[in-house]
Amino acid sequence: MNTAGRGGQPGILDGIRVLDFTAVIAGPYATRLMADLGAEVLKVEPPEGELLRHGPPFRGGVSALFSQLNSGKRCIALDLKKPAARDVILRLLPRTDVVVENFSPGVMARLGLDYATLRTHKPDLVMCSISGYGQTGPAADRPAFAPIVQAWGGYENVTLGYQPGLIKPLNMGLPVADTTAALQAHGAIMAALFHHARTGEGQFIDIAMHDALLATMHKDFQQMLNPDGRERLYGPLATRDGFVLVILLSQRHFEALADAMAQPALKKDPRFSRTAERMYWYADLINLVGDWTAVQTTAEVVACLEAVGVPVSPYRDLRAALSDPQLRHRGMITEVVDAAGPLPVPNTPMQFSATEAAVKPWVAALGQHTEEILHSLGYSEEGIAGLRSEAAIR
């Protein structure tokens, strides 16, 4: 199990300081990616902890999901509704480069911590707000969790359209809206920091899960506007003992498959002989391939097609990733340590030749760094005791 960095080089974001007001998935994943690149991320949590600290799955009373999304961040616990806690944030601002938050629109303004206010204390601040539908507009105040956004934004019905015979939308699987918004936010923050490095200027970034989700539906968007009555479905083909996925797009792959199936006449079939026609008649071709796979085992199909370079895969479960030699070669299975002990997690997928990118192997307890940070800001023991008596800190 890889528990260290990937080479000991400096991180691209070494020296960048981030104030993280985020919770659940979209915001925490964006800021964890920054921590993976070397940023010093300070997570600001309420005294009871953010929502995901209480979210399953648990081990030893600790949320494994929280630990995966928040490794490598320091933590300060503040009740931001208390004026004294707000003062702590304002003292932190001069040493902060980036603020990230994913409260509902308007919450940061009510707390007196919106961009217009913060930039008066730090004019070159980069701030990113992640929300369901954006900071302004007629839908800005709609409740916005990933399942809601995916249903509202058309994503789930697009997915349903790829499931012949089904009429009921599927249960939400992966939180695509959350993860896509996190990646868009991370990229936007990197661009804003690049702009800052060139100009010295900060700016505000508004990321909406709804927007980010729409931007992922490339072909589906155009297919909706320009329907042609035919659709390519990339799905399972039955074998004697399971299922395989076969992709046939290039001419080379198609011809290799025809030979592997001992059906060379397919190469002269006018439906399939050229790429444009093959794209249009893709379903017919895949049905023929399915007739061939149905009389063989999964292992036989995979071995045959891999030998001739045709893209093919069995359907594996996620547990197989823990022993996948390719992932281990790339250091993608690593380990962090939280209050419950060692925890296997996926590493960051970013790898660079001259700088390090890796999940930091520790997870802060709630409020673990509160006193340390307050001392660094000049608070005395009496001052810290006063904050605690006001319930402004944990």
Active-site residue list = 178
- The strand pair at 40-45 and 73-77 is best described as parallel
Q: Give the 3-state DSSP-derived string for 257-303, with helices as H, strands as E and coil as C.
A: HHHHCCCHHHHHCCCCCCHHHHHHCHHHHHHHHHHHHCCCCHHHHHH
Tokens of 35: 């921590």
* Nearest Cα residue to 4 out of 329, 359, 364: 359
* Nearest Cα residue to 111 out of 135, 82, 133: 82
How far apart, in Å, are the Cα atoms of 5 and each of 279, 290, 293? 44, 45, 43
**Cα gap 372→90, rounded to integer Å:** 17
The DSSP-derived string for 146-197 is HHHHHHHTTHHHHHHTTSTT--SPPPP-S-HHHHHHHHHHHHHHHHHHHHHH
**Cα gap 210→181, rounded to integer Å:** 8
Q: What is the DSSP letter of 10?
A: P
Q: What's the CA dihedral at 51, 52, 54, 55 to 10 degrees?
A: 130
CB under 8 Å to 8, separation ≥6 — which residues? 356
CB-CB contact of 65 with 359 (8 Å): no
- For 91, phi then psi, to 5°, come to -70, -30
